Structures are given as structure tokens and as C-alpha cells.
Amino acid sequence: MTDTAILDATRSQRLKAATRDSHNALDKRIMAGDIFASRAQFARFLRVQYRFHRDIEALYANPELDALLPDLDERRRLPQIARDLADLEQALPAPAASAVPAPLPLPAALGWLYVAEGSNLGGTILFKMAARLGLDAGFGARHLAAHPDGAARHWREFTAALDSVALTSEQEQQMIDAADAAFRSVHGHVELEFA
């Protein structure tokens, strides 16, 4: 984005632009892990998702986020990821301290949630690819299934909320830094699982 385009962009567009490099690096690293080579390989990806979504569990009980997004609780995907792992007869990863600092101010909470919600967009592609392993919304790839309203619409409801919050430029930077930290943290989980 040019400087003028950045000024004209919505907050969610600015956030996307600011985290493009860390997102691309993560996508590439995951796909290099050949997660559709076998169910065992896909289970590694599920463990990455489990660790990430376990890290952000506290977000779904955050009252400020809840006031902003009426369906916040329904956006949780940890239970579906746990069921996907159980479908593949995989144990859950061992307990570990959360990578998310607590308590999290609203701008930072938005940054972490952005990464979780956005991953549903790439998730729709992964969902289609998971079919080749015989996985679907009822077995093994439950957490990647699109929301019944459609992934795009569900995403737009989230970005509309994100764009509507009043934030100072410092707070917006806090949100960007948190999203970047979230991407890096997921990347760390990938390195651990695919080492």
C-alpha cells in the first residue's frame, strides 16, 4: 500500500497490510509441512491449531470483546479442534502456559482475535483440501467448516466490528503489534510440531 492508500484504508485493511509478511511466512511454512500428505501429517496441523486456540481461550470471556461481538462465544473453535483430534485418535497436546499476556487490553485482544478469525478464510481452502484425506465437517475437519452464514459474511461481521471501535493511533499500533505477536506465536507452534 502507498501512504495515501494506507490513510484511506479501513482499520482492518491496514491491519491486513501491516501483517502481510508474517501471514505469508506462516502460510508458506504450514504448506511446506505437507499437511495433506496423510492423516498423521494433518494431525500435526491440528495440534498447532489446538495450541493457538488454547492460548486465546481467555479472549472469549473478555467482556469488552463480548460487548462488541454478540456472537463471540460461538466464534470459539477449540472444542471442534479437540473433536477433530479425537476423530483421528490423537491425544491432546500436553498442558502449557498461554502465549497470550493477561490481562489483555481491548486493542491487543482485537489483534489476537483478528488472527484467529482471519484463519477461517484460509481455512475454507484447507477444508476443501482435507476432503482428499476423507475429512469433512462431521469428521476430522470440523473446525475448518465454514460458518452456516458463509465464511465471507461471518468475516465481514467481524471486520465491521473491528472497524467501528474508537482507537487512538497508539491503540491501533498496539492492535497491530498483538496481531503480529499472534502470527509469530502460531509460527512457533508450527516449528515445534513440524521440527
Binding site for ligand HEM (CB under 6 A): 12, 16, 23, 26-27, 30-31, 114-115, 118-119, 121-122, 125-126, 186
Nearer to ligand HEM, 86 or 152 (CB): 152
Nearer to ligand HEM, 12 or 62 (CB): 12
Closest separation in Å from C-beta 2 to ligand HEM: 18
Closest separation in Å from C-beta 19 to ligand HEM: 7
CB 72 within 8 A of CB 19: no
Nearer to ligand HEM, 63 or 146 (CB): 146
Q: Distance between CA atoms of 30 and 42, rounded to whole angstroms?
A: 10
Nearer to ligand HEM, 141 or 186 (CB): 186
CB 193 within 8 A of CB 44: yes
Q: Distance between CA atoms of 93 and 50, rounded to whole angstroms?
A: 8
Closest separation in Å from C-beta 23 to ligand HEM: 5
Nearer to ligand HEM, 99 or 115 (CB): 115
DSSP-based three-state secondary structure for 94:
coil
Least Cα distance to 68 among 166, 161, 176, 183 occurs for 161
Closest separation in Å from C-beta 186 to ligand HEM: 5
User: Is there a cis peptide before residue 70, judged by omega within 30 degrees of 0?
Assistant: no
DSSP-based three-state secondary structure for 136:
strand
For residue 108, is it left (φ>0), alpha (ψ between -120 and 50) or beta? alpha
Closest separation in Å from C-beta 184 to ligand HEM: 11
